[in-house]
Structure 1
Amino acid sequence: MPKFGVEVSLVDATNLGEVENAIKTNTRIIYAETPTNPTLKIVDLSGLASIARKHGITTIVDSTLATPCNLKPINFGINVVVHSATKYLGGHNDITAGIVCSSKEFIQNLKRNRKIFGGTLDPAAAWLLLRGLKTLALRMERHNQNGLHVAKFLEKHPKVAKVYYPGLPSHPQHSLAKKQMRGYGGVVSFEIKEILKRQCGLWKV
């Protein structure tokens, strides 16, 4: 991005104070992901949108792991939502695509820029994406069920040290996830005790 004159400040988007403190006079966009990959942290979207409005900044949120079935960031004041359609939206592991959701004005401007920079989805991939969207709601319902089931199983497993899944009450942002999301998806991350013990041994050496 530097060759396009774009500067980036990296912050923890779950810490709204840190986000606001990082804003500079030339800040134009706040970009965040929720849930994050792979540790499934949850960003307070209403709080993020409030900070952005106060400073006249556009917000962009990557909501790939949630999908529109589980989370609609625009309902919380976010300006632009992006998805990797390669994953849940396509659903069949046979396309590489992305989706941008925003106001009509924003999308019209985006179309003009796309003509210059490229990145146009071919007709066959677009058709495959539309095919995948037809079953998205059904697939996400099952993903939500299976994800929670696996997370609960892992949380009780004697060899698992920690489970990252916003649908679990033990998740530090579970209350926020319940407020923002309809379901929690099929991605579950966890740490294994034995691996951690071996790593600690190597660090001591």
Structure 2
Amino acid sequence: MLEARSIHHRFRPDVPLLRDVSLHVAPGEVVGLEGASGSGKTTLARLLAGHLVPDRGRVTIDGTALPQAGFRPVQYVPQTPVLAMNPRWRIGRVLRESHQPDSAARSALGVDPAWDRRFPHELSGGQLQRVALLRSLAPGTRYLVADEITSALDPVAQALIWTALLRLSRERGIGILAISHEPALLDRVALRRITLR
């Protein structure tokens, strides 16, 4: 179980962004997270993945704190994947940074092996998001924090990516926190929803 317990976080001493936020995601469960712009959704996502440390409260997996070094079992997938990739690396190296993806996951997400020879700027937004998801699905991944991962894509690309991701989640027992401004999307993919105020 991925849990956030009474999380508090602020970037400025006089302005708390997150106050006493608690949530949990079970293995294989998809939980939707919604909230207005500026409510702290991305900050919470980064806290859950260990990219930030809360001022107060804890993030745990099965009651144990997240590891501070090495591979993290909670993977954060950003809205703009190109910003999370080295622009000087070809896609094959970007993928191998975390693991050597298997052909079944490649096929499910529609990541063409021919893309391995290209640079990130040579792929479309939808193609890059598939690469980012494939990279995040390393063997040790237990949870994904998907931060508006299909918001910039057309409905067909959204459907293809979410269909593949949900199938892989079921097969591998990976829990997902799906962050979105689109209630219709969360209605379709999430078992339950949380609103951040």
Check whether TM > 0.5: no
Bigger share in strand: 2
Q: Normalising by the residue count of structure 1, what TM-score does the alignment of the two structures yield? A: 0.29
Q: Normalising by the residue count of structure 2, what TM-score does the alignment of the two structures yield? A: 0.30
Bigger share in helix: 1
